[in-house]
Structure 1
Amino acid sequence: PHLYKASQGDMRKLDLADVIFYNGLHLEGKMQDILEKISKQRPVISVSKNVAQDHLRAGSPEMGSEHDPHIWFNVQNWMSAVETVRDELSALDAVHAEEYKANAESYLTELRELDDYTREQIASIPEAQRVLVTAHDAFGYFGDAYHIQVRGLQGMSTESEAGSQDVTKLRDYLVEHKIKAIFVESSVPRKAIDAVIQGAAQQGHIIKVGGELYSDAMGEEGTEDGTYIGMVKHNVNTIVKALK
């Protein structure tokens, strides 16, 4: 995510692909230009293209996007992405259309269960403590979908850095609302979050790190956290354990 230049290995994978699926909404940054060139030679498809407009959040100038690209944090948006992949593959490879349809239906059933699980688990956190504080503003869709307040220290991009004013503002919010845990992210340096924790401690409010969340990355390939469902469950379980 947020790739601003592709490595030779990435370019080779793109060159060898029969079809390319990508997130869209400018998540890929300057990779967008490369994808547009490739689209003249073979199918290149944004999986976010059919997400309902009323399910999209506003973007930010730093991302260069009209909409927030982190659509996968609302499981229902990722269900739309699955349907897009199903339909595009069926059109490109009609011989296997029934197989794509069956596989998609099986996966969509799992995603419906994941959506219900996430909703139930977040609702189990006392409302006053239902505040998710992270390093960057990637969890807006999650907050909207599952009714938890979200506070990000910096903007939507992992490339941006939080300034001292951001740190002070977030510190004051945490102290005032007696928030007991904040979260670090696997793809974002924790320096600024540590500054918030230290600042709160100086004012007599102890905040713990509630755990590490996946934001713009998943776990290692071959592990449960390396799957979409496993990644979401890890995040949900980590949040609930720290805030409940």
Structure 2
Amino acid sequence: MLSRSFLLATVALFSFAPLSASAQEPVSVVATVGMIGDIAETLGGDCVAVQTMMGPGIDPHLYQATAQDVQTLNRADLILYSGYSLEGQLGDVFARYAERVPTLAVSEAGVAREDLITTDDAYGVDPHLWMDVSLWAKIVPVIADQLSESAPDCAATINANAQTYGAELAALDEWTAQTIASIPQTQRILVTAHDAFAYYGRAYGIEVAGIQGISTQSEAAIADIRQTADLIVERQVPAIFVESTINPRTIQAVVEAANEAGQPVEIGGELFSDAMGAPETAGGTYIGMIHSNTVAIAEALGGTPAPLPDALADWAHQWSID
């Protein structure tokens, strides 16, 4: 839920005139999640100054905006959010901001509804689009066009960066598919804390089972834990995974239940689901997020990471990735 102070500050905001960066200053971009902010920063370079509202370890399903967020948004020249209900009630707030500053739901602008996974819950659609690299790549030209409008003097550079980054994502998509395909078919099942990996499973051919649903607003029930443990026993799953934004206690409960039923299962590592890793680390980039997840999944389930393609050589060199 939105705090009262946040709502009051939002209302007060609209009594002030819009702020805009001068031609000499970088465009002030506010992104809700790191997966969007990283793309904006990669494309914009020195022409943008990007701030991300929800940093490492922050669960957007549970995020409660603050009055400080209003101050950050008030200074923005451009606001980028995902949409498709990822940010919950904040979507209504961003509609208000759109009256005074360019504000864009990048997923809704870039990814058609027919490409979405629909759900039976309040969301209606699964908002975790970044888990399918080929889908997430569709927001790159959307962000490039918006940045070019905000910084027209930098348009040529932004579009060139978009071409390069698009090629990197195409290579990442292919590498991810090759790596997951190396997992023996009988072990190709991904068990995680919540259902954030459906797009990943659909794109790369791995079955996905989340203890909780798409949202993390409610705790997993005992029945959910037992059902997941039964699946692990039946399928002889060797490893399951915790997530960086979710308390690991439900995963630990599943491990204990499976072990008690005679099926040894280990925690295969921590996956990035609703947030990237820390800034200034490989996992703090979108490419690194997908790379880290894929390596962890493959190695824990009996696969072998494929060699990184040449298109990712610069990224790998920057972060000392073999």
- TM category, shorter: over 0.9
Q: 2:223 aligns with which of 165, 173, 183?
A: 165
Quick check: 1:180 aligned with 2:252? Answer: no
Give 2:99's match in structure 1, choosing from 35, 40, 49: 40
Give the counterpart letter for 1:51 in structure 2. V
- The residue that corresponds to 1:98 in the other structure is 156
Relative contact order (alpha carbons < 8 A, sep ≥ 6): 1 or 2 greater?
Answer: 2
Number of aligned residues: 242
Which 4+ runs in 1 deviate beyond 4 A? none
The one-letter code of the counterpart of 2:117 is: R
Cross-structure match for 1:148: 206
Q: State yes or no: 1:18 paired with 2:72.
A: no
Quick check: 5-14 or 207-216, which moved more?
5-14
Matched AA of 2:71: R
Q: CA RMSD in A?
A: 1.3
Pick from 243, 252, 263: which aligns with 1:194?
Answer: 252
Does residue 58 (structure 1) correspond to residue 109 (structure 2)? The answer is no
Contact 1:4 1:30 in 2 (8 A): no
Aligned equivalent of 1:88: 146
Inter-partner Cα distance in structure 1 for 2:222 and 2:62: 26
SS at match of 2:191: strand
TM-score, structure 1 as length reference: 0.95
User: What SS class does the counterpart of residue 172 from structure 2 fall into?
Assistant: helix
Corresponding residue to 1:131 among 189, 199, 216: 189
* 1:60 positional shift: 4.3
Which one has the largest radius of gyration?
Answer: 2
Label 1:177 to 1:54 Cα distance change in 2 as closer, same or farther (>3 A): same
**How far has the Cα of 1:160 moved from its partner?**
2.2
Superposition map of 1:60-79 within 5 A = 60-61=120-121, 64-79=122-137
Contact 2:190–2:208 (8 Å) recurs in 1: yes
In the TM superposition, residue 9 of structure 1 has moved relative to its aligned partner by: 2.6
2:78–2:150 Cα contact (<8 Å) kept: no
d(CA) in 2 for partners of 1:3, 1:133:
22
CA offsets 1:131-184 (integer angstroms, 9 cap, x no match)? 000000000000000000000000111222110111111111110111110000
Check the 8 A contact 2:211/2:224 in 1, yes or no.
yes
Deviation at 1:3, TM superposition (A): 4.9
Is the Cα contact below 8 Å between 1:211 and 1:238 reproduced in 2?
Answer: yes
How far is the alpha carbon of 1:118 from its aligned partner? Answer: 0.3
In structure 2, list runs of 5 or more residues that go unmatched. Answer: 1-59, 303-322
* 8 Å Cα contact 1:24/1:46 also seen in 2: yes
Instruction: Supply the distance in 1 between the matched residues of 2:173 and 2:114 (Cα, whole angstroms).
Output: 18
**In structure 2, C-alpha distance between the alignment counterparts of 1:76 and 1:159, rounded to whole Å:** 28
SS in 2 for 1:6: coil
Alpha-carbon deviation of 1:4? Answer: 4.3
CA distance in 2 between counterparts of 1:228 and 1:75 reads 9
